[in-house]
């Protein structure tokens, strides 16, 4: 069984293309990424509202898009694209997935994944920051 961490994108970004792990500049994303690396996963992916499933060493350009402003139909379509990519790189039934992502980013993915954890589920942003700081 392999372990994967999925981190949702954030609005604060560099103003130039960069590796996805470096593009997102918010404290929340940086702490999520540090926590994710501490788990020693087989891979860490970013759930990007624009690009879908993105590896951390993939260069992407900045964008202004979020699932939080999308209609449910569009979020479902985005989720289907992400699932296609996940199926290419992982085993949704055997592998373990750790979501460091909000509800909109995981809502339509969870029903397809057998083994997942959501360690910060139901925590507000301030609580997430505090939780992450304690864990790393």
Number of domains forming the structure of the chain: 1
Q: Which of 35, 31, 37, 52 is nearest to 109 (CA)?
A: 52
Relative to beta strand 115-117, strand 96-100 is parallel
- Distance from C-alpha of 31 to C-alpha of 51, rounded to nearest angstrom: 22
Residue 88's domain spans which residues? 3-135
- Distance from C-alpha of 61 to C-alpha of 45, rounded to nearest angstrom: 16
Q: What's the confidence (pLDDT) of residue 136?
A: 92
Q: pLDDT tens for residues 13-72?
A: 999 999 999 999 999 999 999 999 999 999 999 999 999 999 999 999 999 999 988 999
Name the token pair of 49: 């509202």
Q: What's the confidence (pLDDT) of residue 107?
A: 94
Residue 53 burial class via C-beta count within 10 angstroms: exposed 0-12, middle 13-18, buried 19 and up: buried
Q: pLDDT tens for residues 77-110?
A: 999 999 999 999 999 999 999 999 999 999 999 9
Where helices occur in the chain by DSSP H, the ranges are 20-23, 27-38, 72-89, 103-106, 125-135
């Amino acid at each position: 069984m392999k372990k994967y961490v999925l981190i949702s994108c954030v609005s604060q970004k560099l103003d130039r293309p960069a590796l996805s792990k470096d593009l997102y500049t918010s404290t929340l994303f940086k702490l999520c990424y540090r926590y994710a690396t501490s788990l020693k996963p087989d891979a860490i992916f970013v759930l990007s509202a624009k690009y879908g499933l993105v590896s951390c060493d993939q260069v992407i350009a900045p964008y202004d898009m979020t699932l939080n402003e999308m209609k449910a139909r569009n979020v479902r379509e985005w989720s289907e694209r992400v699932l296609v990519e996940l199926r290419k790189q992982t085993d949704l039934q055997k592998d373990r997935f750790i979501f460091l992502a909000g509800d909109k980013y995981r809502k339509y993915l969870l029903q397809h994944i057998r083994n997942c954890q959501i360690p910060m589920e139901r925590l507000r942003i301030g609580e997430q920051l505090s939780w992450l700081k304690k864990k790393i």
